[in-house]
Structure 1
Amino acid sequence: MRKALLFAGATVALIAGTLVGLPGTSQAAGPLPCDIYGAANTPCVAAHSTTRALLAAYGGNLYQVRRASDGATQNIGLLAAGGYANAAAQDSFCANTSCVITIIYDQTSRHNDLFIEPAGTAGPANSGVPADALPVTAGGHTVYGASFSGLMGYRHTAASGVAVNGQPEGMYMVTSGTHVNNRCCFDYGNVEVQIADTGNGHMDAINFGTECWFAPCYGAGPWVQADLENGLFQSSAGPSQNSSNTGNSAPFVTALLKNNGQNFFALKDGNAQSGGLTTRYSGPEPTRGGYSPMHQEGSIVLGTGGDNSNGSIGSFFEGVMTAGLPTDAADNSVQANVVSVGYGAASPVAGGTLNPGSTISLRATTACCTTNYIRHQNNNAVTSVITSSSSAVDKNDASWIVRRGLANNSCVSFESRNFPGDFLRHSNFQLYRQPMDGTALFRADATFCPQAGRSGQGTSFASYNYPTRFIRHYNNTVYIASNGGSNAFDSSTSWAADVSWAVSSPWTP
C-alpha cells in the first residue's frame, strides 16, 4: 500500500505497507547448514533463525511475534520450504503498532524452542527483541534479524539432545560486528539448567563482543570467545595468544565454537558475506580447574550469560548446535552456504527518496553550510562537510536507510547505514545514533514526520513526540529545535533554513 502525504502543497511519497524485497528466489540452492552437519555425522540438535530455513526440508515456522495493541500473537513462517522468512506476514500483522519476538522456533525435530528468558541470579527478567528493529536482506528478500539492546534474552532449559557432562558439540551463529558492547554477555549456546552460575565448565557458548575478560586482548574487537562460565576464553590460558586476532567488525560475522568436552576446543570466525573461516584458537581446554572435562548442563541461551547477565547488545540472524564435534570440512561448507545467502543491508528500493528502504543523505540548505550533511560520530549526530574525496567512513556515517516510522507508519525513522539496528533518535533534544531497544519512548524519539521545508525549499522533519520541534543543525550539532525558546539551539536566527534539509542520493549506496 502506498500513501501520499500532502504538506503545504508539497507531496512526500511514503511507502506505508510491506517492505519491498530485492528480486530473488525464495529457496536457497543445495544443502543447508543442518543438512551439511547431518551428512558429516554431527546432526543439529538445535537450529534457530529469524531469516531463513536451516534444513532444506524445513517448512515450519521461524518465530512468533506479539503485538502491543492487543497482545495477539502470530507465527512467522517461510515463503517456501527450505527458503526465507515471510517478512510481509509480520509487516501486515504489526502494521500501525509494534511487535516483539516471543519465541524463536527450533527447526529440528527436538523442539528446542527459545522463549523469553525469566530472571536469573545476575539479572532481572528479560524482554523480547523488537521484531522490526533489524531489517536486512537475505536471498534477495527483506527479512528481520534479532537486535538485542540489553535486558533482552531467550532460553530453553533442559533442552533435548544438547551435550551434557563432557560430551562433544559444535555451534555457530551469524551475528554483526557493528552492534556490540563490552557488557556481559552476548552468548549463544549451552548453559545451565538453573539460571545461575553453577561453576567452571558448566557453560559452552559462543560469546561475541568487546568484553576482554582475560588480558591481553589484541585490537578493539569484537572477538569470538568461548564463554565456558567464569571466563570468556580466547585460549587455554584465557588471554588471546594470537596477536593477529584484533577482532571482526564486519557487518555480518560467522562466529563458531566447537568443543570435544574433554581436552580440546576451537574458535573460528569469518565474514558472513564473503570468504572463508579463520581459526582464532585450536588447542587444549582451559588449564584452570573444572574445564577438562567439561560439565555442560544442556540448556540453550541466546543474548545473555548463563546466570542471565544481560547488559549486552548484539545481533542474531541464525545459529545451530550439533551433537558431536564437527569436522573442519563441514564448518567450511557451512560457511560457504552462509555466504551464498547474500546477507546485506543494501537498500531494496532506489536511493535518494523518502520511500522506506531507500538510502539517503541529508544535506543542510542554510547558505553557510550547503556541503554539510547529517552524520554520526562517536554516537552523536553532527553535521560535517562531505565531498567525493571524503573517506569511506565519513561517507558511510552520512548515509541513512529510511524506515517506516517506528512510532507511526505515516512518518519515517532513519537507520544507520553501517550500524544495522541503530537509529537516529533524540534525547534531551539532542540527536544521537543508538540501538533500537523496542521501548515506546525510543520509538517515539526516533520518529520524524516530513513536512515541506520551512524555508521554502527541501524537507523539514518534525519530531513525532515534540511536533513543534524540528531536526536542526546548530554549531554543527543536531537537535530538535523550536522556533525561539530558552535553549541556544532554539534561536529564531536562520531557524527556517537550519531545519530545511535536501534529501539527496546517499554517499554510500
Structure 2
Amino acid sequence: MTGRHLKGFALRVGAVLALLAGILVGAFGAAGTAQAASSLPCDIYATAGTPCAAAHSTTRALYATYNGALYQVKRASDSTTLDIGVLAAGGYANAAAQDSFCSGTTCVITKIYDQSSNHNDLTIEGPGGNGGQDVGAIANALPVTVGGHAAYGVFVSPGVGYRDNSTTGIATGSAPEGTYMVASGHHVNNRCCFDYGNAETSGNDTGNGHMDALNFGTECWFSCSGTGSGPWVEADLENGLFFGANGSYSGNTGISSEYVTAMLKNNGTTTYALKGGNAQSGSLTTFYNGALPNLGGYTPMQKEGAIVLGTGGDNSNGSDGSFFEGVMTTGYPTDATDNAVQANVTSVGYTTPAATFPVAGTAYRLTNVNSGKVLDAVNCGTANGTAIDQWASLGNTCQQWKFTSAGNGHYTITNVNSGTTLDSVNCAQSNGTALDLWASLGNLCQEWDVTHVGSHYTITNVGNGMAIDVKNCGTANGVAVRQWQQLDNTCQQWDIAP
C-alpha cells in the first residue's frame, strides 16, 4: 500500500471514529436526555463510503437533512390518505398529525417512503408464490416513544406485508450490501418470515442465493442445538433461515431485549456476517462472521434487488414482528460503521409507553365492533373443549374475561365462569382455526397480544399470529368466533370494557 493510500485510509477511519465520538457526545451530553444526533445512520454510512441505497422508518428521519414524508396512512371512513412527515429536518415523526387525521376511525399504513434519493418506496404487497394479497399494518397498533416524542412503528401480523419489486440502486447478483433494522424482541413468532431486505422481483422462490434479507423471529429452519430459545437474528438467503455457516450455528444464541438492532452484511461472493444488539443501550454482538453457505447457489450470490418487509421472498406471510427503522446499503460496511450506527440507534431512546389496559383482576366483556355481540362460552360450558361464539349480552359470568400478564407484553385470557383459559385449538396455524376453553397449559397457544386500534382492540394469538375473528362477519347469536389472518376490518375488532 502506498503512502497516499495509507493517508486516505487513515482519513476514512478517522472520519468514522469522529462520527462515533460525536454521536456519543450528542447522546449523553450535559442535558442527559436522548436527542437526535447531528449525523444519523445514512450520514454515517455515506461518510464511510457505503451509502444508503434505501432507508425506511415510521419513527424518525435517517438523514440529518431529511424533511420529507416518512409514511402514508389511509383511513377507513372515507379512504382518504395523508403523508406523515417529520417535526423538523432530521427529526422525529409527526404522530399528532396521524392522531388527528385518524380520530374516530381506523387507519392503515399504505406506504413507507424511502428517504434516499432512490425513492424505493414500500407499498402493500400483492400476491406471491406462497401468499395471497396482503393488507397494511394498522397505523396506531404500535405506539412508541423515540427521542422523547410519540411515534408509531409497523405492527406486522400474519397477512401484513410491504414490497418494492422495481427498485433503483439495490444490490443485484453478487454485489455487496449491508442491512440493519430495529425490531421488537418481544413481538415475534415461529412462522415464515419476518424479513427486511433484498428479495426476488417476481414474488416467487427462484432458488438459493436469490435473497439477502434480515430475518428476526423464533423460526428454526436448521438445527437449533445450543442456541437457546431465540428470537434470533438470521439471514434469509432463500430456502433457508441461516444462523451462520451452512444454517446451523451454535454461536448465534439470539437476543430478546425489548428493542433489538439486527444487522446482516453480505459481500456477495465469500462472506456474510450477522450481528445484534440491544437497541436501547450497549454494543453489538457478532453472532457469525464467516463463509457463505456452500450448499449451491450462495457462492456467488444471485440477488435480484427487490425489497421486502414483513414477509418472505415468495410472500410467505405468517409472521409476527415490529419494524421501526431500517436501511440497505451499497457496499459492505465496516465494523466501525456498524458500531457508529448502533451508537446512534441507542442514543435516540426507544421506549414503550406505559399501558393502561388491562387492569389485573378486572372482569371484562369483549364486544365485537361489527356485530355488537359479546364473546361467549357456549352454553356456559366449563369442560375442556368448550366452544366459543358470540351472543347478545346476558350479563352473566360466562361472558366475562380476565387478563393476566404472561410476560413480554402477552396475556392469558380466562373465562370468569369456568376458570379455564382461552385456547387456540391444537395450536393450529391455518385460517379458520377454532377457539375453545382449556385448562392452563402454559404455552403460546394460550397467550394473546392485545393491540389498540383507535378506540378498539384486536386480539392476536402469540402461537400462530392470527386474530380473533367472527366467522364471515356474522351478526347473529351463535356465530362461531375463530382465528384468521389480519383483515383490517371491524369483524376482528373488539371493545373491551368492564
Whether these two folds match at TM > 0.5 is yes
- For 1:182, which of 180, 183, 190 is the aligned residue? 190
Match of 2:219 in 1: 211
The answer on whether the counterparts of 2:181 and 2:323 sit within 8 Å (CA) in structure 1 is yes
- Cα distance between partner residues in 1 of 2:449 and 2:220: 32
CA contact (8 A) 2:160 2:310 kept: yes
The aligned residue for residue 224 of structure 1 is 233
Aligned to 2:154: 146
CA deviations 1:191-222 (Å, max 9, x no partner) are 11111111110100001111111113521111
Aligned to 2:279: 272
Structure 1 residue corresponding to 2:304, chosen from 276, 297, 306? 297
**1:380 maps to which of 398, 412, 436:** 412
Q: Structure 1 pair 117/433, CA: closer, same or farther in 2 (3 Å)?
A: closer
Residues in 1 aligned to 2:80 and 2:49: alpha-carbon distance in whole angstroms: 41
Contact 2:155–2:322 (8 Å) recurs in 1 = yes
SS of aligned partner of 2:339: helix
- What count of residue pairs does the alignment treat as equivalent? 389
For residue 434 of structure 1, report the CA deviation from its aligned partner: 12
Q: TM-score, normalised by structure 1?
A: 0.70
Q: 1:442 aligns with which of 482, 488, 492?
A: 492
RMSD: 3.4
1:329 paired with 2:336, answer yes
CA deviations over 1:285-336 (Å, ceiling 9, x no partner): 1011110110101111001111111111111000000000000001001001
Distance across 1 between alignment mates of 2:258 and 2:208: 32
1:318 equivalenced with 2:325 (yes/no): yes
C-alpha distance in structure 2 between counterparts of 1:52 and 1:406, whole Å: 22
Match among 406, 411, 417 for residue 453 of structure 2: 406
1:374 touches 1:383 (CA, 8 Å); kept in 2? no
- The 8 Å contact of residues 56 and 112 in structure 2, kept in 1 or not, is answered as yes
Answer yes or no: is 1:282 the counterpart of 2:279: no
**Paired residues of 1:252 and 1:271 also in contact (CA < 8 A):** yes
Within 5 Å, which residues of 2 pair with 1:20-59?
Answer: 28-59=36-67
SS in 2 for 1:162: coil
- Judged with a 3 Å threshold, the aligned counterparts in structure 2 of structure 1 residues 93 and 26 are, in CA distance, closer, same or farther, namely farther
**Distance (whole Å) between structure 1 residues aligned to residue 198 and residue 467 of structure 2:** 35
Q: Distance in 2 between matches of 1:290 and 1:55?
A: 35
Find the aligned partners of 1:426 and 1:284 in 2 and give their Cα distance.
46
Using the TM superposition, give the Cα deviation of residue 246 of structure 1 relative to its aligned residue in structure 2, in angstroms. 3.0
Cα deviation, 1:259-299, whole Å, max 9, x if unaligned, reads 00000000000110111110000000101111011010111
Unaligned 5+ segments in structure 2 are 1-30, 364-401, 417-441, 443-447, 471-477
Distance of 1:430 and 1:273 partners within structure 2 = 43
**Matched residues in 1 for 2:345 and 2:104: separation?**
33
Cα distance in structure 2, aligned partners of 1:250 and 1:423: 24
Q: Displacement, 1:439?
A: 3.4
Structure 1 residue 251: deviation in Å? 1.5
The answer to which structure has the higher helix fraction is 2
Equivalent residue number for residue 474 of structure 1: none
Aligned-pair CA distance for 1:238: 1.1
Residue in 1 that maps onto 2:209:
201
Provide the C-alpha distance between the structure 1 equivalents of 2:360 and 2:480, rounded to a whole number of angstroms.
17
Structure 1 vs Structure 2: percent identity of aligned residues?
56
Amino acid corresponding to residue 412 of structure 2 in structure 1: N
Shift of 1:431: 12
- Pick the aligned partner of 1:124 from 105, 124, 132: 132
SS in structure 1 of the partner of residue 98 of structure 2: helix
Could you tell me which amino acid in structure 2 is paired with residue 229 of structure 1? E
Find the aligned partners of 1:362 and 1:214 in 2 and give their Cα distance: 40
Match of 2:360 in 1: 362
- Deviation of the 1:68 alpha carbon: 0.5
Letter of the aligned partner of 1:191 in structure 2?
A
Mark the CA change 1:297 to 1:401 in structure 2 (over 3 Å): closer, same or farther: closer
Structure 1 residue 240 displacement after superposition: 1.6
CA shift, 1:174, in A, is: 0.3
User: What's the TM-score once normalised by structure 2's chain length?
Assistant: 0.71
